[in-house]
Amino acid sequence: FQMDTTQESYLDLFPLDAIVYLTPDSENVLEDIDPSKVYVLGGLVDESIHKKLTLQRAQEQSLQTARLPIREYMVKTVNTKNYHSETLAINQVFDVLSTYYETRSWPAALKAGVSSGKGYVLPDAVKE
């Protein structure tokens, strides 16, 4: 993948209706990647997780939102900390999206990007 960096805001570079802000708090599930859309990953970099902050920012900017289909394809695993999070690092989201783009398989993509430490696994990985 070729990437360019700029100091300019995505709001100044692309039409609002072309931007999809990825946030784990969205009610909209990302079902497919649309090549005509621009996906915002890691719109906020923060050391702590602030619930719905990214969703709020996207709504303030009148942007479409979506979340990765973690709940649709993965199951919560039993873990000692009872920890389950759909919040991923930028590189994990990128791994999910790039794997999905190559394979067109959400299970393969989520396996590539969602570490077991997040408390989610593919159903076939659950040990009975």
pLDDT value at position 11?
95
Phi-psi bin for 127: left (phi > 0), alpha (psi -120 to 50), beta? beta
Decide which of 60 and 47 is more confident.
Answer: 60
Instruction: Name which of 4-8, 43-47, 77-81, 101-105 the model is least confident about.
Output: 43-47
- Whether 26 contacts 55, CB under 8 Å: yes
Average pLDDT over residues 111-125: 89
CB 21 within 8 Å of CB 58: yes
Task: Count the helix, strand and coil residues of the chain and give each as a percent rounded to the nearest 5.
Answer: 35, 10, 50
For the segment 19-51, what is each residue's pLDDT rounded down to a tens digit? 999 999 999 999 999 999 999 987 655 545 567
CA 82 to chain centre: 22
Whether residue 128 is predicted with pLDDT greater than 80 in this model: the reply is no
User: Of the given ranges (1-10, 40-49, 77-86), which has the lowest mean pLDDT?
Assistant: 40-49
User: Which domains, from first to last, does the chain contain?
Assistant: 10-125 (3.40.1280.30)
Task: Indicate which residues carry an active-site annotation.
Answer: 46
